[in-house]
A = this chain, B = another copy of it.
């Protein structure tokens, strides 16, 4: 099954590096030296290289042959690109998932949404946000689509963490509520349109707005 955690050394290194890059602990453009991480993780360079390949596929690092890999940089154009891709694909997923959404699932989504609104920091809010989207999209039963959306979520999260360092208040997720309301009333077109607008909005707002003090 896919849910089995990859317990190989390659898998652990991949997850750890992905977390660090998404959280912004490694700055974009930083060169990643295989021997350095091999030593840090007590492994050899081979699993480190394999982890690099996986991260490359997720778009978290870029690889130049014979010049190594560096953390992928993202400018505003890339952030918008990811947001538009997410909007398209999440709408597709929702269209297929909607007929299979039970009210139990929608109740759970509402609970997750409330948890997100009470989140103490960006990290917790992002986790709740991702859980919300994943929950209402999973019933589409399209594994490749869901995997691609997950990768795009990771790219979005990088941007979120990089722009929102400072004081942060959990927004009341009005869009999430509107989506759930539309889904309960089985107005799938309304739900899809709201979702598309919501995802694109996430992609554009923080970057143009907040840029003041940097607290960790």
Contact = CB atoms under 8 A, between A and B. Distances in A.
A4 interface: yes
Contacts of A91: 88
B145 A65 contact: no
A92 B82 contact: no
A21 to B, nearest CB: 16
Nearest to A54: B53
Given A81-B142, A85-B92, A57 B57 contact: yes
Nearest to A85: B145
Q: Is the interface of A mostly helix, strand, loop or mixed?
A: helix
A32 to B, nearest CB: 15
A57 B53 contact: yes
A7 B92 CA distance: 37
A7 B56 CA distance: 17
A95 to B, nearest CB: 9
Contact-size category for A: 20 to 34
Contacts of A7: 65
A189 interface: no
B81 A145 contact: yes
A155 B145 CA distance: 13
A89 B92 CA distance: 10
A46 interface: yes
A11 interface: yes
A209 interface: no
A213 interface: no
A8 interface: yes
Contacts of A85: 89, 92, 142, 144-145, 148
Nearest to A91: B88
A11 B6 CA distance: 25
B4 A65 contact: yes
